[in-house]
Chains A and B, each alone.
Chain A
Amino acid sequence: MQEAELFEKYRESGDIALRNEIVEKYLYIAAMIAGKFAGRGVEYDDLYQVASLALVKGVERFDPAKGVKFSTFITPTITGEIKNYFRDHSRVVHLPRQINELRTSIRKAAEELTVERGHNPTAREIAERLGVSEEDVLSCAEAGGVVSLDRNVSEEDGMTYHELIAAADDSLEDFENRDVVRSVLAGLSGAERKLLKYRYGEELSQTETAKRLGVSQMYVSRLERKVLEKLRKTLGKVMSE
Chain B
Amino acid sequence: MKELLKLELPLLKSEFMTTVRLATGGVCSAAGLGLDDSEDCKVCVTESLLLVMHAGYRAAAIAFSAEEENLFISVKASHWEETEGGMSEDEISEALLNALARGVLIEREDGRAAGVKFYFSK
Contact = CB atoms under 8 A, between A and B. Distances in A.
Contact of B96 (A36, A40, A86, A133): A36
Closest 6 CB pairs of A and B: A75-B95, A76-B99, A79-B99, A71-B91, A135-B18, A134-B18
Contacts of A36: 43, 46-47, 96
Contacts of B94: 72
Given A29-B92, A37-B43, A69-B91, A75 B18 contact: no
Interface residues of A, number: 20
Interface residues on B, range: 10 to 19
Given A133-B18, A138-B18, A139-B22, A71 B92 contact: yes
A87 to B, nearest CB: 8
B36 interface: yes
Interface of B: 18, 21-22, 25, 36, 39, 43, 46-47, 88-89, 91-92, 94-96, 98-100
A32 B89 contact: yes
A29 B88 CA distance: 11
Contacts of B36: 83, 86
Nearest to B44: A36
Interface of A: 29, 32-33, 36-37, 40, 69, 71-72, 75-76, 79-80, 83, 86, 133-135, 138-139
Contact of A33 (B21, B25, B92): B92
B96 A33 contact: yes
A135 B92 contact: no
A67 to B, nearest CB: 14
Contacts of A72: 91, 94-95
Nearest to B100: A79
Contacts of B39: 37, 40
Contact of A75 (B21, B22, B46, B96): B96
24 contacts: A29-B92, A32-B89, A33-B92, A33-B96, A36-B46, A40-B39, A69-B91, A71-B88, A71-B91, A71-B92, A72-B91, A72-B94, A72-B95, A75-B95, A75-B96, A76-B98, A79-B100, A80-B99, A83-B36, A86-B36, A135-B18, A135-B21, A138-B18, A139-B22
B36 to A, nearest CB: 7
A79 to B, nearest CB: 4
Contacts of A75: 92, 95-96, 99
